[in-house]
Amino acid sequence: MQIDLIHFTPGLSLAGGLIIGLAAAALVLFNGRIAGISGILGGLLNWPRNDIGWRLAFLVGLVGVPVIAGLLGKPAHLDIEADWREIVVAGLLVGIGTRYASGCTSGHGVCGLSRGSVRSLVATATFMAAGFLTVFVQRHLIGG
């Protein structure tokens, strides 16, 4: 195994993880809400009468920060080696998995594990195993 030291950024990754953890903790402490993206977006699509503001603010921040970083000259490098059909199928599979798991990787992996939820532990282990298997099949069996 070879590590790409040019793109290996453990410090930035740690800082990003800490910021995500702090944001999730702040949301649960101040609003009593879990920072699961699928739940936040799903709740917004149901048009709740009294909690649209925090959901919109969360999603605008989620999308807006990378846009602002790009405008400041720090664009994120994104190289997707898939056509639009593969991306649509992948998105649908992720959406189906999110519904079956009663939450997404952010809700289970960040918030659920920190609360000691067994359901989140099982869900996160399943997400990770599926990811490992997908990479193995793609790189070693299909070729890529």
Whole-Å CA distances, 20 to 3, 5, 35, 111: 25, 24, 9, 10
Whole-Å CA distances, 40 to 20, 73, 103: 15, 30, 10
Residue whose entry in the numeric block shows the structure tokens 């079956």: 100
Q: Quick check: 108 and 124 in contact, CB under 8 A?
A: yes
Q: Quick check: 46 and 69 in contact, CB under 8 A?
A: no
d(CA 99, CA 83): 25
CA dihedral 41, 127, 117, 115 (to 10 degrees): -60
User: For residue 1, what pLDDT is reported?
Assistant: 65
Quick one: average pLDDT of 121-133?
A: 91
User: For residue 132, what pLDDT is reported?
Assistant: 92
Quick one: average pLDDT of 107-126?
A: 89
Cβ atoms < 10 Å from Cβ of 65: 11
The pLDDT tens digits for 5-52 are 777 888 888 998 899 889 888 988 998 888 888 888 888 887 666 788
User: For residue 125, what pLDDT is reported?
Assistant: 93
Q: Is the pLDDT of residue 66 over 80?
A: yes
User: For residue 48, what pLDDT is reported?
Assistant: 61
Q: Is the pLDDT of residue 4 over 90?
A: no
Q: Is the pLDDT of residue 144 over 70?
A: no
Percent of the chain with pLDDT over 90: 14
Helix (H) or strand (E) holding 92: helix 84-100
Quick one: average pLDDT of 67-75?
A: 84
Q: Is the pLDDT of residue 121 over 90?
A: yes
